[in-house]
Structure 1
Amino acid sequence: MKLVFLHSSDTHGFLLPTDYQDKNDCDAPFSLSRVSSVIKAEREKYGADHVVVTDSGDCLQGSPLASYAHSTGDYADLAIFTEAYNKVGYDARCLGNHDFNFGLDYLTYYIDNNRAPMINDNVLDEETNVPAFGREYTIIEKNGVKIGILGITTQYIPHWEPKENIAGLKFVSAFERIKHYAKILRPQVDVLAVMYHGGFESDPVSGKATEPHRGENEGYKILTEIPEIDVFLTGHQHRRLNVVTRDTAIVQPGYRGEAVAKVILEIDDQTKKIKKMSTELIDTKNYEPDPEIVDIVKPLDERTQKWLDRPLAKLSEPAPIENAMKGRIEGAPFINLLQQMQLWFTKADISATAVMSEKAKGFGKEVTMRDVLLNYPYANQLCRVKLTGKQLRHIIEHSAGFLKKNSDGTISFIDRWIKPKPMLYHFDVFYPVEYEADLSKPEGQRLTKLTLHGKPIKDDQIYHLAVNNYRAMGGGFYPEYSMDKIEFTLDKDYVQMFTEYLTHADVKVDTKKNYRFY
């Protein structure tokens, strides 16, 4: 017999096929509504008793629709949001790191109103050391085959979330918990599957390291050291991944519901042993949105579209960014405006930021909510960090290490930050320091200029840096950042900050370029 797993992850609240750039465009090649249509078609093809449907988190945050549902303060909107995911008909789910962004009350409501079992093995109550919500595992039966499902998320969440969003919780190694539960569950089932909101620190086939092994992603360690797992259903890295290696089927379905990951197991009817396994990714762009999902979400979407077009502020001059890639390397007025705002709120000496969206266009003279969320879609908070000049230099040197100089003299990003998953939201630029980096020099020795207001940065002098909490708490593999260096965190999100900053006075956008790579 055939047993089919259908897996989604990292839909990030894109319930309908739109990226919200244009309120009249609802034909984007992704969305939960398209995911649902794929799942319906596959259930019809194989029969519901042959199909297991799973999701590995990052559902509550990421889209303007998700931001609006949270902004109203009305859990009736969260109920609409939750019902759309319920309608898909998942057999089991786990949480992602961004599901904690809006706090524990919001998350608890979502979990309590989710009809699928939420599987949670490594987010514990810090006092009792038992799972803080959900259940440790579920066993379901499909056509006589017993399937055990475990669920874990990245242990790195405390590095990114404000303390109040994870109060009373303890995040432990995904590897350690799966190692423990796999031994318990394996003897009880014919097939063991693991949902993991996490990815791979090394290539799952070659074993070559793809990022520092700091615990954010433990997929390779799990794959190579826990042989009990048959099916590994992953997320978090937004990768498109489907491979069979080490007798394990591994999948990851990309971002925003662009694909549904599929695992097909051929199982012996008598022994219930797996005879063969294969994987594929089903692109959702080839499927029409599920009208049931559309009907549920449409009223919330209509209110979101009106909210997005609400004017927030007017600028005396535009603050554009020609395109995200060019802006990162050469600078742009919008990047400077963001840095100016961070300095205004924190009274810091220096500001650091990344271009957060590949579709960032910056601001025209009139700024709407849509503009803010499309340019800065993350629910970050702003911190002020205390650093020595030497530590600051290490941080800027690390950022310069993202880049290379090509034989034709052009500057581009090295492959590890683009493949297998683009991670350019980790590339920070700094303001109003003036700095230059010679990319022909060895890493760590590239800065040829680093000044603030015309004076060289001094190694032993204290400087105050404005940077978002994701970076300040260790996100992005930067050196020097640590919790003890955070002086304070603002209790505002970036929408609130932009609204306040752009309306407090006539803001003069700095259009000067203050850094150069050569």
Structure 2
Amino acid sequence: MNQVRQIAVITTSDLHGHDEGMAKAGRLIRRLQEQYPDHILIDNGDVLQGSLLTTFCQERQPNEKLPMHHFLETLSYDCAVVGNHEFNYGKAYAEHYRSFSPCPILSANTIDRSTTLPAFGQGWHRKTLSGSFRIAVLGLTTQYIPHWERKEHIEGLDFIDPVKVAKEQMATVIAQQTADLIVIAYHGGIVGNLEDPDAQSSEENQGRELVQFGAHAVITGHQHRVLAGKIGDTAIVQPGSHGSHVGLIVFDYKFLDGRWVFQGANCTVLATQEEQPDERIAQLFYPYRQAMQDWLKEPIGFVIGDMRIRDAMEVRLHGHSWLSFLHDVQRSYTFAQLSVVSLFRDTSPGLDATITRESILLNYVFPNRLAMVSLRGADIKAMLEVTASYFEKRDNGDLQAAMIGDQYRLRPFDYDLWEGITYTIDVGQPVGQRVISILFEDKPIDVEAYYTVAMNSYRASGGAHYPFLAEASVLFQSDAMMTDLIIAYCKEHPVIISENRAKMQIW
């Protein structure tokens, strides 16, 4: 019994219902399960939203077992963590996910206010392997959800600081010696690089703070990063998104003096790109893909001109007809003076000549609603300064996306493009001082005056780099999703003229 015994923690995160990536990840997971018979398999959250498949399931089959349930069941997941996107379709749908799940759904810090207990039933999962080897998993969720989510979707829930919860509950488990291997699975991220001792956590991403309570490993997610390494003696992984990677932490133990003694750990993230899809996983998704084809391919409008996107950087520098079209949609429902939109992904394709439900969903990938807020001119300038920080200059003077370590300073969906104002940005100036001109109706914007601005509900909530927007007066928020509003607009205006109306200069 004093030989080294290997225990594997296998994990996915932020799958978002991307069936192709999940099928590839499934093949790799099966191989790891065979290679490491002593293992625990954990999903770290965000499975219910984020793909054509998840949108179809929510709209058409809300009362049935979901393909994500079949995926968890087929691979024998031991437990899964609640992610922030699990709430995008409301509490009832999140509860539907929990009730049909083949494995426990964890979040020790998502609390039912009426009972003061974990809203999804439990915060911990325990697994005992042969030889009485005990694994304990503490599931935690980013506490930042109320900043993004509609109030009615999380009514009656409290999102407690995960660091506080971990400190209290980890101390009890360690003192009682009820586990040989302790894993914190946190649907939240880590700010900065693992090697940076000076990096500070944010309220949204507190993974760095969770290493201090004695866990052998902290699984992170939410940021869609690919991370593997250690902070101190604690193993850290974050396995990308959409099934692109699988996290693997292999622990060495010896049985000494009547107990299992930790010897060390190695962690890595394994890419699935070269994997062939697992046939059983692909087959379980097949009926859903077949059923949604007619729904996706339904023509809902037509484009005159070219609305395809070929270069995301060109769009951010000069605007694009797809974004002008989004401005039209937003202003038609709100009659706002100004409108602000984003190109959510660098791979957004734009629209072909025939507009379908699929093409809208491929471009507008987030479950936002439409909001209209009242902003001072000074707030508008502050928003533009955030956008201006997206860029940095190369040595030859060309502009590129600014990096901080291995991450972009701004994510694609944090960069805004405006309509209703004309603005000029000088990237050669210091961050925070780059917006050199804003004109409204051909006059300099009044920093003390108030303007009505249409934007998506995520931006209006003050998420990410725009916390000051959380204090703005919300004049309107739609009940319908933005994708539904876009589709309805297309049906009312079936012929869309491709026209880029952006009025901005960036140098």
TM-score w.r.t. the length of structure 1 is: 0.92
Instruction: Please report how far the alpha carbon of residue 426 of structure 1 lies from its aligned counterpart in structure 2 after TM superposition.
Output: 1.0
Counterpart residue number, 1:432:
420
Q: Please state whether the residue corresponding to 2:484 is helix, strand or coil.
A: helix
Report the Cα distance in structure 2 between the residues aligned to 1:394 and 1:417, rounded to whole angstroms.
Answer: 24
What corresponds to 1:2 in structure 2?
Answer: 6
Shift in alpha-carbon separation, 1:510–1:377, aligned structure 2, 3 A: same
Matches for 1:145-294 after TM superposition, within 5 Å:
145-186=133-174, 187-209=177-199, 213-223=201-211, 225-226=212-213, 228-270=214-256, 271-294=259-282
Alpha-carbon distance between aligned partners in 1 of 2:289 and 2:402, rounded to the nearest angstrom: 39
Q: Deviations over 1:331-361 (max 9, x none)?
A: 1111111122111111111111111122112
Q: Gapped runs of 5+ residues in structure 1? A: 18-30
| Structure with the largest fraction of strand | 2
Structure 2 unmatched ranges of 5 or more:
none
CA contact (8 A) 1:404 1:414 kept: yes
Measured in 2, the distance between the counterparts of 1:74 and 1:172 equals: 29
Instruction: Say if 1:285 and 1:364 are closer, same or farther in 2 by CA, change over 3 A.
Output: closer
Q: Give the match for residue 39 of structure 2.
A: 51
- The verdict on how the C-alpha distance between 1:416 and 1:312 changes in structure 2, with shifts beyond 3 A counting, is farther
Distance in 2 between residues matched to 1:359 and 1:9, nearest whole Å:
21
CA distance in 1, matches of 2:103, 2:32: 19
SS state at 1:269 partner: strand
Counterpart amino acid of 2:502?
K
Report sequence identity in percent. 27
Q: Check whether the contact 2:402–2:409 (CA below 8 A) recurs between aligned residues.
A: no
Question: Helix, strand or coil for the counterpart of 1:495?
Answer: helix
Superposed, which structure 2 residues align to 1:303-342 within 5 Å?
Answer: 303-342=291-330
Judging changes above 3 Å, is the alpha-carbon distance between structure 1 residues 479 and 437 closer, same or farther for their aligned structure 2 residues? farther
Alpha-carbon distance in 2 for matches of 1:191, 1:434: 58
- CA distance in 2 between partners of 1:309 and 1:295 (Å): 22
- 1:515 pairs, out of 496, 504, 507, with 504
Equivalent residue, structure 2, for 1:36? 26
Q: Secondary structure at the match of 1:215?
A: coil
Deviating more after overlay: 244-253 vs 501-510: 501-510
- CA shift, 1:57, in A, is 0.6
> In 1, distance between residues paired with 2:209 and 2:314?
36
Given the alignment, which residue of 77, 80, 83 partners 1:93? Answer: 80
**What is the Cα deviation at residue 204 of structure 1?**
2.6
Q: 1:354 to 1:104 in 2, by over 3 A?
A: same
Q: Deviations over 1:186-209 (max 9, x none)?
A: 221111101110111243322243
Q: Is the 8 A contact 1:388 1:462 kept in 2?
A: yes
1:376 counterpart = 2:364: yes
Q: Which of 36, 58, 66 is matched with 1:70 structurally? A: 58
Compute the displacement of 1:280 (Å): 1.3
Alpha-carbon contact 1:308-1:370 (below 8 Å) kept: yes
Q: Aligned pair 1:112/2:102, yes or no?
A: no
Q: CA deviation at 1:58?
A: 0.5
**Which residue, 11, 15, 22 being the options, matches 2:15?**
11
Secondary structure at 2:106 match in 1: coil
Q: TM (normalized to structure 2)?
A: 0.94
* Distance (whole Å) between structure 2 residues aligned to residue 134 and residue 233 of structure 1: 21
| Counterpart code for 1:190 | D
Moved more, 316-325 or 418-427: 418-427
User: Counterpart of 1:490 in 2: which secondary structure?
Assistant: strand
Report the Cα distance in structure 2 between the residues aligned to 1:319 and 1:46, rounded to whole angstroms. Answer: 50
The partner residue of 1:469 within 432, 457, 482 is 457
Aligned pairs, how many?
Answer: 497
Deviation of residue 127 (structure 1)? 3.4
**Take 1:353 and 1:85, find their aligned partners in 2: how far apart are those partners?**
36
- Which residue is 1:358 aligned to? 346
CA distance in 2 between counterparts of 1:132 and 1:292 reads 32
Q: Is the 8 A contact 2:110 2:157 kept in 1?
A: yes
